Amino acid sequence: MSESPDPFALAEAAASTLGELTGTESYDVAVVLGSGWMAAADAIGAARAEFTLTDIPGFTAPTVAGHAGTVRHVAINGLKVLVFLGRVHLYEGHGPNAVAHGVRTGVAAGCRTVVLTNAAGGIRADYGVGQPVLISDHLNLTGRSPLTGAPPPDGYPGRFTDLTDLYSSRLRSLAKKADATLAEGVYAALPGPHYETPAEIRMLRAAGADLVGMSTALEAIAARHLGAEVLGISLVTNPAAGLSSAPLNHADVVRAASASAKRIGTLLAALLPLL
């Protein structure tokens, strides 16, 4: 998808189309699911409706295995939830506005909370494969931002967004009430699609990173810019480069995510009503 001269108008158009398709004028929470997380979507709750993202303005189909390219309307205890099954990435040739379009659409549809999930490499030695980790902060090493370009239109916040509490401490506290075993960590976002070198992982560890992946950061920035509270959850699908003798392989990442996805969905099903 080419970059729109007005990504905010495009998000409004997408939200309007969602409302027409679902018959629901506004939503409460948007959830973006990472690679291989179909079982998580099913565990969150039964879909009242599901649509292909390409039927909605501004979306293109993901090209990465494990990303379904659909959006669901799910109701949980009166809470109206949009569940995006997949996302697009910078490395697919998209710009920051395309990467952020899903969360902007969710906020335009009324969502005041955005939950971002991903599959990540574990840098901390005590993280195990299949372990969910709350994102406490991030290092955006993509060199990109969804707030570059023309200033936001009138009626939107200015581009100089405070990211001090980007990953909401309130939401992380609620998540720990739902699952007291949850760890926290700093997520490093790199552009990909290649995996990192062992030297890069050593650099990231020295910089304070606990997790590494190729998504989430730009979406979080875009959501926070629009005033939404953000909760980030990484699923550790592999030890980061150089921390295991096994080679890194995307098919293994998707398999590991799929194997643990139901646990994430069960966590979200318990957590979302608390929001």
The residues annotated as belonging to the active site are 35, 67, 89, 91-92, 119, 214-215, 238, 250
Q: What count of other Cβ atoms lies within 10 Å of the Cβ of residue 181?
A: 7
Residue identified by tokens 């993280």 is: 127
Is the peptide bond preceding residue 62 cis, with omega within 30 degrees of 0?
Answer: no
Residue identified by tokens 């990442």 is: 253
CA 20 to CA 27: how far, in whole Å? 13
Q: Under DSSP, is residue 47 helix (H, G, I), strand (E, B) or coil?
A: strand
The two tokens of residue 209 are 């990173």
CA nearest neighbour of 31 among 54, 13, 47, 10: 47
Report whether 44 contacts 76 (CB < 8 A).
yes
- The strand pair at 79-85 and 113-122 is best described as unpaired
